[in-house]
A and B are shown apart, each in its own frame.
Chain A
C-alpha cells in the first residue's frame, strides 16, 4: 500500500525557517517524481515545488523561489522541503504528492498534510 506521511509542520514566526519531511513507503520511491502542494486555510490548491526521481530537475512556484528548497533522499525514501524567510502568506497545509505512473503531472497519491502556521 502506497503511503506518504508528512511531518515537520508547526508554528513559526515571520522570517523563520522550517523543514518539512515526507516519508514514503509501499512503492519504489526512487522511480517517481515528487511534489509539494499547499492549501491555505479555506483556499484552493497551489503547486509549490517539483523534484524529478533522480533530483536532476527541480522547479519552484514563483511565490517560493529563492526561499524554499526541495530535496530527496532515495536511500531513505524521503522527500524534504526546507522553508526559509517564511511569510504569513505561507501559512497552509503542505501536502507531498507523487507524480503518477501514467503522467507525472497527475498526482496519484497524496499524504495527509502537515500544517504550517507563520505568525508572531
Chain B
C-alpha cells in the first residue's frame, strides 16, 4: 500500500476531460515536495509525462496538465484520445521513508470508452 493514493481506474469517452488524483500527506506532497507523473502504455516502459507538478517534457502534448494543492496533486487529460489508454503513476518524495524517499502512487488505469 503506497503512501500516495490514486484511484484504481478512471474512464472517459473520446474528446472528454478526465482527471486522476494523487493524495498524499504532510510528509510528502503536503510538505511541498514536487509531484511527477508517468504514463505507461500497455507492454511498454513508463514515460515521464509531467515533472515538477505542472511541467511537460518536450514532446508531451499540451492536452496533459498537472497541478498540486495542499496534500494532493492531479493530472488532467483533455480531448481524450484512444491512444491515451494507459496506466498513470504519480511520484513524489516522502521524508518519512528511509533510503532515497522516492515513492510512487499505486497507479490508475485509464480506459477510453
| Contact in complex: A35, B102 (CB < 8 Å) | yes
| Contact in complex: A50, B99 (CB < 8 Å) | yes
Give chain A residues whose Cβ lies under 8 Å from the Cβ of B51: 100, 102-103, 106, 108
Q: Mark B83-113, 1 if CB is under 8 A from A, else 0.
A: 0000101011100001110111111000000
Given known contacts A59-B100, A106-B34, A111-B45, A44 and B105 CB-to-CB distance under 8 angstroms: yes
**Complex-state Cα separation, A108 to B106, whole angstroms:** 19
Given known contacts A102-B51, A105-B91, A47 and B102 CB-to-CB distance under 8 angstroms: yes
| Contact in complex: A44, B104 (CB < 8 Å) | yes
**Complex-state Cα separation, A47 to B2, whole angstroms:** 11
Closest CB-CB distance, A83 to chain B, in whole Å? Answer: 16
| Contact in complex: B47, A110 (CB < 8 Å) | yes
**Complex-state Cα separation, A47 to B100, whole angstroms:** 9
Residues 35-76 of B at the A interface (beta carbon under 8 Å): 36, 38, 40, 44-48, 51-52, 55, 57
Which 9 residue pairs are nearest across A and B when measured between Cβ atoms? A106-B51, A59-B100, A59-B99, A47-B102, A44-B107, A110-B45, A50-B100, A106-B36, A45-B104
Any B CB within 8 A of the CB of A32: no
